[in-house]
Structure 1
């Protein structure tokens, strides 16, 4: 997977480093090409050493909530030695490789996701579900500071991968292999926006850490040291201005709906 340079996404990632009175948010938004190069081809061959087809379906875990599932959602049956299993979402072995390789590229060299299993991923019901899930966490913790960048964030993502054409996946690891499993993490999410036509994946990863937990470990693989102290009074007057990313921090942005 090749990281695609994008100044808008870099500015968004910088703006997602938000510090409030009781916690810190660390986020990043990155775009990757799905065109395989040398290392990717070797890893894919390793994952397919048993001779199984790259189009073979792999069972995914259901989304964390079933309430927003579309009535037109399609499922396949997983199989086991005892016969047919329950209805579940699936993805191809090749798609699983794309998701795993994106994690490896984003968190290299701190983590290795080569042995990640399909059940640690979910396919999300819709774009609106993903937007609502992300905005809910971000608003609850980031408040007005997230409001100031929300519209620009979703616009930049849409420009990069054309959201209406995407499939949506999330990474929900077991606690033992969760890179965000250290103490003090209030919430975290990892979403993938996959545009098959463009052969591109956008990866949006974010977490909130309690300030009482202390400085996040330097090897956590996400976020940067904020390097600045903000007080509540100044925060209401600050402006974010990076590559045309300009909003007042107290401005309310109309929610973006697709």
Structure 2
């Protein structure tokens, strides 16, 4: 996976580093080409080494975690069979090749601190719609930083659409157990990892964000966001 340069996303990444009194927000947007490099080819072969296994084989995904907090009636309609209410919920599936792209994106984004090569399909979910994802992200960020998010959200979603054409994307999320979660340390309030996969463009836009309590961030030695290592956020830096 090759990281693609995008000054607009770089500006947003600075803007998504926000220090509030009670919490610290650290978010980033990264655009990747799905073209395989040398290490990517090794991973792809490793994930498809078993006899009879094909990159087009389908594997089951887990339901989106955001849906699990709603009542069953709030689930999107294709999750249930209308013919027999006693049948188990249908689940989304993913091809081995697409699963490889998601894993390779995680490896590229969190390198060298984490290795996700052994991640399984049930640690991922397919999101029902872009609107659902946008509402979830907006709810989390507005609750954490309020009007700061309101001044940012138009540029955020416009830049994402310009980079990946969200209406043409399948959207996935990574929802690991606590042991595998790169944001699983004490003091983490919430986090999300979304993949916007545009098959036509052969590109993935990765949107990762977490909220950590300010006390935990200080105890763990994380630098304050007003440190010189962080660029000041200026809305004038965005194109109208």
Write the distance in 2 (CA, Å) between the matches of 1:118 and 1:190: 15
Residue equivalent to 2:189:
186
TM-score (norm 2): 0.87
Write the distance in 2 (CA, Å) between the matches of 1:133 and 1:245: 25
Q: Secondary structure at the match of 1:36?
A: coil
Q: 2:139 matched to 1:136?
A: yes
The gaps in structure 2 that reach 5 residues or longer are: 82-86
Counting matched residue pairs gives: 226
| Contact persistence 1:75–1:90 (CA under 8 A) | no
Q: 2:213 matched to 1:214?
A: no
Deviations 1:223-258 (A, max 9, x none): x752349xxxxxxxx972464268xxxxxxxxxxxx
Write the distance in 1 (CA, Å) between the matches of 2:233 and 2:39: 42
Q: Secondary structure at the match of 1:115?
A: coil
Write the distance in 1 (CA, Å) between the matches of 2:61 and 2:233: 42
Residue equivalent to 2:62:
61
Write the distance in 2 (CA, Å) between the matches of 1:75 and 1:32: 34
Correspondence list, 1:109-120, <5 A: 109-120=112-123
Write the distance in 1 (CA, Å) between the matches of 2:6 and 2:39: 23
The gaps in structure 1 that reach 5 residues or longer are: 77-83, 230-237, 247-258
Residue equivalent to 1:127:
130
Please state which structure has a larger fraction of its residues in helix: 2
Q: Structure 1 pair 179/242, CA: closer, same or farther in 2 (3 Å)?
A: farther
TM-superposed deviation, 1:43 = 1.1
Residue equivalent to 1:26:
26
Q: Structure 1 pair 29/96, CA: closer, same or farther in 2 (3 Å)?
A: same
| Contact persistence 2:19–2:224 (CA under 8 A) | no
| Contact persistence 1:57–1:90 (CA under 8 A) | yes
| Contact persistence 1:120–1:173 (CA under 8 A) | yes
Residue equivalent to 2:226:
227
Q: Secondary structure at the match of 1:87?
A: coil
Deviations 1:87-118 (A, max 9, x none): 21110000110000000000000000000011
Write the distance in 2 (CA, Å) between the matches of 1:4 and 1:155: 18
Write the distance in 2 (CA, Å) between the matches of 1:107 and 1:245: 29
Correspondence list, 1:100-111, <5 A: 100-111=103-114
Q: Structure 1 pair 171/202, CA: closer, same or farther in 2 (3 Å)?
A: same
Residue of structure 1 aligned with 2:93, choices 90, 93, 106: 90
Write the distance in 1 (CA, Å) between the matches of 2:219 and 2:181: 15
| Contact persistence 2:79–2:90 (CA under 8 A) | no
Please state which structure has a larger fraction of its residues in strand: 1
Q: Secondary structure at the match of 2:43?
A: helix
Q: What value does the CA root-mean-square deviation take over the aligned residues?
A: 2.5
Residue equivalent to 2:3:
3
Write the distance in 2 (CA, Å) between the matches of 1:155 and 1:216: 36
| Contact persistence 1:75–1:89 (CA under 8 A) | no
